[in-house]
Chain A
Amino acid sequence: NAGVTQTPKFQVLKTGQSMTLQCAQDMNHEYMSWYRQDPGMGLRLIHYSVGAGITDQGEVPNGYNVSRSTTEDFPLRLLSAAPSQTSVYFCASTQTGGETQYFGPGTRLLVL
Chain B
Amino acid sequence: SQQGEEDPQALSIQEGENATMNCSYKTSINNLQWYRQNSGRGLVHLILIRSNEREKHSGRLRVTLDTSKKSSSLLITASRAADTASYFCATSQSGGTASKLTFGTGTRLQVTL
Contacts of B92 in A (CB 8 A): 99
* A98–B88 CB distance below 8 A: no
* B45–A42 CB distance below 8 A: no
Contact with A along B23-58 (1 / 0, CB 8 A): 000000011010100001111110010000000000
* A106–B99 CB distance below 8 A: no
* B4–A101 CB distance below 8 A: no
Q: Please give the number of chain A residues whose Cβ is less than 8 angstroms from any Cβ of chain B in the complex.
A: 28
* A64 contacts partner chain B, Cβ-Cβ < 8 Å: no
Q: Which of B59-67, B75-83, B100-108 contacts A (4 or more CB under 8 A)?
A: B100-108
* B41–A43 CB distance below 8 A: no
Contact with B along A48-79 (1 / 0, CB 8 A): 11100000001100000000000000000000
Interface size class of B (residues with CB under 8 A): 20 to 34
Interface of A is mostly: strand
Q: How far apart are A95's CB and chain B's nearest CB, in angstroms?
A: 8
Contact with A along B1-37 (1 / 0, CB 8 A): 1101000010000000000000000000011010100
User: Which residue in chain B gives the minimum CB-CB distance to A49?
Assistant: B99
How far apart sit A78 and B101, CA to CA, in the bound complex (Å)?
A: 22
How far apart sit A4 and B31, CA to CA, in the bound complex (Å)?
A: 23
Given A99-B33, A99-B48, A100-B48, answer yes or no on A42-B2 (Cβ-Cβ < 8 Å). yes
- 5 chain-A/chain-B pairs, Cβ below 8 angstroms: A40-B105, A42-B106, A48-B99, A59-B102, A101-B90
Chain B residues with CB under 8 Å of chain A are 1-2, 4, 9, 30-31, 33, 35, 40-45, 48, 88, 90, 92, 97-106
